[in-house]
């Protein structure tokens, strides 16, 4: 057990919950960091709070930033989230749910937080398989961020430590992530993945994120604890 501090980016989804559990299992004192970035719904942030508490984060900060100021994404603008896309499309396209420079912005805040709490390790749930459409989920991006981070701060210039950007899920399938999380005691019913939930926080079951999650549980051979909307399209539109 290391007893060292680590900063863990926590979205409230099952990936980052598993990452938090991994950081704990490696003996880190996790400082969880979430962002209120003008998401269209609060379900994600509520999930992050539940997950941080249930997995024993020593601290959980939510930073308010306004990514909507730029526009350009279905996650922050009034653009329709795509539904029911097949695996091939999902894997090849850069989706409309892409938020410009999101991971770079998140990791930059994590870097500032890490310097303040003396954490050399920054954990992120980036995944290159299921989200191959996102440039900032690839190993070469993570490596480049780490290199930049080690030139950016007082902590590294003074030689106190070197930053390590840890993306333990980067080469795992969703099913492998789910099995890992289960092994480490993650309660997936607390997590939230849907890009377009109902006003009560129920998952739509059809956006890319829901499809990947459902398929992950199916492949892992585990029951999916997610509460999906059971409505017709018409009822959904009227919500």
Q: Map tokens 């922050």 to a residue.
A: 76
CB closer to its own copies out of 101 and 218: 101
What values do phi and psi take at 24, rounded to 5? -65, -45
CB closer to its own copies out of 153 and 198: 153
CB closer to its own copies out of 66 and 235: 66
Query: Smallest distance, Å, CB 144 to its own copies?
Result: 4
Interacting residue ranges for its own copies, rule: CB under 8 A = 61, 63-67, 69-72, 94, 98-105, 107-109, 111-113, 115-116, 135-136, 138, 140-141, 144-145, 147-149, 151-154, 156-158
Query: Smallest distance, Å, CB 187 to its own copies?
Result: 27
Query: Smallest distance, Å, CB 153 to its own copies?
Result: 6
CB closer to its own copies out of 27 and 71: 71
CB closer to its own copies out of 144 and 231: 144
185 exposed, middle or buried (CB, 10 Å; 0-12, 13-18, 19+)? exposed
The DSSP result for 192-228, as a single string, is ---SS--TT--B-S-BHHHHHHHHHHHHHT------B
Query: Smallest distance, Å, CB 37 to its own copies?
Result: 10
Cα 4 from chain centroid (whole Å): 22
Dist. CA 161–CA 159, nearest whole Å = 5
Query: Smallest distance, Å, CB 145 to its own copies?
Result: 5
CA angle 98, 87, 70 (to 5 degrees): 5
């Amino acid at each position: 057990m290391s007893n060292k501090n680590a900063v863990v980016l926590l979205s409230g989804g099952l990936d980052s919950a598993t990452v938090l559990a991994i950081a704990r299992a490696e003996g880190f004192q996790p400082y969880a960091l979430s962002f209120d970035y003008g998401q269209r719904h609060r379900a994600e942030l509520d999930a992050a709070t539940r997950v941080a508490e249930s997995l024993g984060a020593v601290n959980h900060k939510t930073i308010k930033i306004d990514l909507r100021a730029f526009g350009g994404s279905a996650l922050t603008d009034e653009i329709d989230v795509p539904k029911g896309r097949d695996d091939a499309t999902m894997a090849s396209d850069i989706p409309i749910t892409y938020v410009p420079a999101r991971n770079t912005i998140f990791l930059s805040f994590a870097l500032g937080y890490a310097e303040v709490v003396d954490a050399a390790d920054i954990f992120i749930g980036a995944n290159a398989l299921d989200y191959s459409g996102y440039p900032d989920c690839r190993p070469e991006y993570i490596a480049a961020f780490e290199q930049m981070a080690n030139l950016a701060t007082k902590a590294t210039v003074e030689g106190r430590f070197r930053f390590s950007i840890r993306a333990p899920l980067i080469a795992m399938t969703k099913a492998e992530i789910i099995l890992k999380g289960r092994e480490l005691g993650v309660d997936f019913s607390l997590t939230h993945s849907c890009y377009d939930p109902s006003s009560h926080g129920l998952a739509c079951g059809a956006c890319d994120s829901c499809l990947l999650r459902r398929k992950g549980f199916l492949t892992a051979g585990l029951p999916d604890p997610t509460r999906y909307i059971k409505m017709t399209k018409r009822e959904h539109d009227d919500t």
